[in-house]
Structure 1
Amino acid sequence: MKILLATFWITPHVGGVWNYMQQLKEKLESFGHEVDLLGYGEGHNYVHIINENRRIEKDKLIPLRTAKLLEKSYSSKHVDPVVKYYELLRYFYELGVRNLGLEKYDLIHTQDVFSTVCINRIKSNTTALVATLHGCVAHELKHYVTHIHKTPTSNLACVYFDKLEFEGATYAEITIVANEWLKNTLTSEFHVPAEQLKVYHYGYDTESFLKRMDEKTAIQRPTDKKVIIYTGRLSEFKGVHHLLGALSQLKKSRNDWVCWIVGDGPMQEELINQSKALGLENDVFFFGRRDDIPYLLSISDIFVLPTLMENQPLSVIEAQISGKAVIASDVGGVPEIIEHGITGVLSPAGDEQMLTMHINYLLENEPYMKNLGFNAKKWGLEHWSPDKAVQKVLGVYENAIFKKRNK
């Protein structure tokens, strides 16, 4: 088969969606399929097929004069500015994808509601479409317009994103989700028919990850302290500000630890300033975006994910494979991949006092901490088999093509 894996998000990027696309491409190609990767480019300035290095620049898609007219058409006071932003991005995305061409693909596998809705509008009627949803976009964007951006038209934006979530979950022949939490959210909150959805957890290339753990870099762990580590985006939803709050409390009772924050994002500067204001500049270290996360995990002791909103986090999967004790928020699909007290610790999202207590308990009880890591690795190596996962995806592809041909 000739397959296109497509996303609306900027690629390459730090995070689970891009990792999933890369690993799925590699596995599909090992079975003899041809696979292309498509997404927005840096700064949303172009749409590109990454592996072919083919791109369509935004300013080539549409003359500047026409672009200004398009901007003006969305300037009504009745149009929410966040909705306007995404509507314009959708417009350029569709133009770019159309110019790059979809005719040669037997199947297109989208990775979010935006790309699903856009590509469904412009693809051939004979091309099968499968969607994998890696989280609830409506939840994130509705939180943004009501709590962060706080626009006077936020109610209209919420209606818009609810509609987008429904369409993105139903326009494909089959929609894949990673856990029961997201399936239940889509069926109960957005009224997506249950028969539309298949629940298949992610696979992960555990063999490559284990090899990369042995590839040493210049970073060295302190000899006299335990290492607490966070890896991922530095955005509000990841709750790193709560981790810093918890560490500030922890420092009052013990100083036998350091914390490594690995990743970048829109809150990076704010978090660095918060760390300084809390007097943690000698305890918390911001590493930025790095390619040696497997090695950094290998020399750490406790992985913490203080997330406020989550689907099936790649960072937890990697921490499990590396055999670390995991403390993660009990939100979204996280409780489905951590058995509390056995393969990790679940902590109430946003509760800094409880997070402090959990970290302190693991530091105080090293045998328990190591046992959590041992159990997590054993479970992770069995559960995240990439071969089993890709076989399930191929089964979905075959069913989607059959369904399309028999419509």
Structure 2
Amino acid sequence: MKILLATFWMTPHVGGVWNYMQQLKEKLDSFGHEVDLLGYGEGYKYVHIINENRRIEKDKLIPLSTAKLLEQNYSSKYADPVVKYYELLCYFYELGVRNLGLEKYDLIHTQDVFSTVCINRIKPKTTALVATLHGCVAHEMKHYVTHVHKTPTSNLACGYFDKLEFDGATSAEITIVANEWMKNTLTREFHVPAKQLKVYHYGYETESFLKRMNEITDIQRPTDKKVIIYTGRLNEYKGVHHLIGALSELKRTRDDWVCWIVGDGPKELELKNKSKAEGLESDVIFMGRRDDVPYLLSLSDIFVLPTLMENQPLSVIEAQISGKAVIASDVGGVPEIIEHGITGVLSPAGDEQMLTMHINYLLENESYMKTLGLNAQKWGLEHWSPDKAVQKVLGVYENALCKKRNK
């Protein structure tokens, strides 16, 4: 089978979607399928098929897209600048993907609502479409506009992203979501028919990850301190600013710890400045984007995800596989993968006082901290089996092809 795994987001990037696409491709390739990876390139300047190193530069599409926008007279829709920005990106994406060509694929598996809606409009009629939704874009965009730009989300933008969520969840033959939280969000809030959705959690290449934990790099852990670690994007809704706030409070009572912040993103400078202002320059170390996350986790003691919204975070999966005590916010699908007090600790999102208390308790009770890590690893190695997960995805592919043939 010839398969295209497609996302609207920049690729490659740090984060769960890109890791999922890479691991899924590797497994599908091993079963004899031909798999390509597609997404926007760096800075949203081009659309490319990554594994073939083929790209279409956005600059070459601007004259055509501008003429099209004028012709269709989208002035009322573009009254909101956020809507305008994403509509332009969608149009460039469609033009780029159309130029790269979709005719050879038996099935396209999209990874977000944007790519699902765009590709559904331009794909060949005989090509089956499956979507996996890794999060709720409507929630994320409303949060981003309200809390990052500090302006209320306009009714126009709210309606736009709500419709996008519904269209993205219903345009494919079958839509996959990772947990019951996401399914309930789509069915109750966006009125997506339940029969459209399949709930299958992600698989993860656990053996490869465990091997990479032993690939030593230039980082060494301090001999006299415990290591707290965060891995992921540095954006508003990951809540890293709350972690820094909690660590500022923790330092008032103890200094037997250091925190590694691994990742990059739009909030990096702001977070560094906050850390400096709180007097944490020697306690909180920003490591930037790195390729040795498995090894860094092996050196760590406590993993913290202070996120404000989440679906099924890859970072928690990796921390579980590496056998670390996990403290994560009780949002989205996180409570479905952490049993509080058994395989990790759930903490109220945005509550810095409770986060400080949880971190302090684990530092104070090392045997309990290690027990949480061992429990998490035992559960994770079984639950995140990649072979089981890929077999379920292949079953969805066959059902989608059957539905397409019978239309």
Class of the TM-score when normalised by the shorter of the 2 chains: over 0.9
Determine the structure 1 residue equivalent to 2:303. 303
Deviations 1:140-166 (A, max 9, x none): 111223333355771110000000000
Superposition map of 1:257-268 within 5 A: 257-268=257-268
Distance 1:54 1:300, change over 3 A: same
Determine the structure 1 residue equivalent to 2:13. 13
Determine the structure 2 residue equivalent to 1:279. 279
Determine the structure 2 residue equivalent to 1:4. 4
Determine the structure 2 residue equivalent to 1:394. 394
Distance 1:342 1:147, change over 3 A: same
Give the conservation status (yes or no) of the 8 Å contact 2:126–2:404.
Answer: yes
Deviations 1:159-207 (A, max 9, x none): 0000000000000000000000000000000000000000000000000
Distance 1:67 1:209, change over 3 A: same
TM-score by length of 2: 0.97
Determine the structure 2 residue equivalent to 1:379. 379
Distance 1:322 1:141, change over 3 A: same
Give the partner amino acid of 2:63.
Answer: P
Superposition map of 1:276-355 within 5 A: 276-355=276-355
Structure 1 CA distance, aligned partners of 2:259 and 2:58? 41
Give the conservation status (yes or no) of the 8 Å contact 1:304–1:327.
Answer: yes
Question: Offset at 1:70?
Answer: 3.8
Q: Among the aligned pairs, what percent are the same residue?
A: 87
Structure 2 CA distance, aligned partners of 1:5 and 1:67? 28
Structure 1 CA distance, aligned partners of 2:227 and 2:152? 45
SS at match of 2:39: strand
Determine the structure 1 residue equivalent to 2:238. 238
Determine the structure 1 residue equivalent to 2:162. 162
SS at match of 1:63: helix
Give the conservation status (yes or no) of the 8 Å contact 1:145–1:154.
Answer: no
Superposition map of 1:109-258 within 5 A: 109-150=109-150, 154-258=154-258
Deviates more, 1:159-168 or 1:137-146: 137-146
Determine the structure 2 residue equivalent to 1:63. 63
Distance 1:152 1:270, change over 3 A: closer
Give the conservation status (yes or no) of the 8 Å contact 1:233–1:263.
Answer: yes
Give the partner amino acid of 1:47.
Answer: V
Structure 2 CA distance, aligned partners of 1:70 and 1:27? 41
Structure 2 CA distance, aligned partners of 1:34 and 1:84? 36
Unaligned runs of 5+ in 2: none
Structure 2 CA distance, aligned partners of 1:392 and 1:77? 40
Determine the structure 2 residue equivalent to 1:103. 103
Structure 1 CA distance, aligned partners of 2:153 and 2:279? 40
Structure 1 CA distance, aligned partners of 2:202 and 2:297? 20
1:51 aligns with 2:51: yes
1:363 aligns with 2:363: yes
Deviations 1:232-253 (A, max 9, x none): 0000100000000000000000
Deviations 1:198-232 (A, max 9, x none): 00000000000000000011110000000000000
Give the conservation status (yes or no) of the 8 Å contact 2:77–2:84.
Answer: no
Question: Offset at 1:14?
Answer: 0.4
Structure 1 CA distance, aligned partners of 2:146 and 2:329? 23
1:94 aligns with 2:94: yes
Question: Offset at 1:81?
Answer: 0.2
Question: Offset at 1:366?
Answer: 0.3
Give the partner amino acid of 2:181.
Answer: W
TM-score by length of 1: 0.97
Give the partner amino acid of 2:297.
Answer: L
Structure 2 CA distance, aligned partners of 1:152 and 1:270? 22
Structure 2 CA distance, aligned partners of 1:207 and 1:356? 33
Give the partner amino acid of 1:215.
Answer: E
How many residue pairs get matched? 406
Deviates more, 1:73-82 or 1:359-368: 73-82
Give the partner amino acid of 1:138.
Answer: A
Structure 1 CA distance, aligned partners of 2:217 and 2:70? 48
Structure 2 CA distance, aligned partners of 1:78 and 1:60? 22
Structure 1 CA distance, aligned partners of 2:309 and 2:28? 30
- Cα RMSD (Å) of the superposition? 1.5
Structure 2 CA distance, aligned partners of 1:141 and 1:105? 31
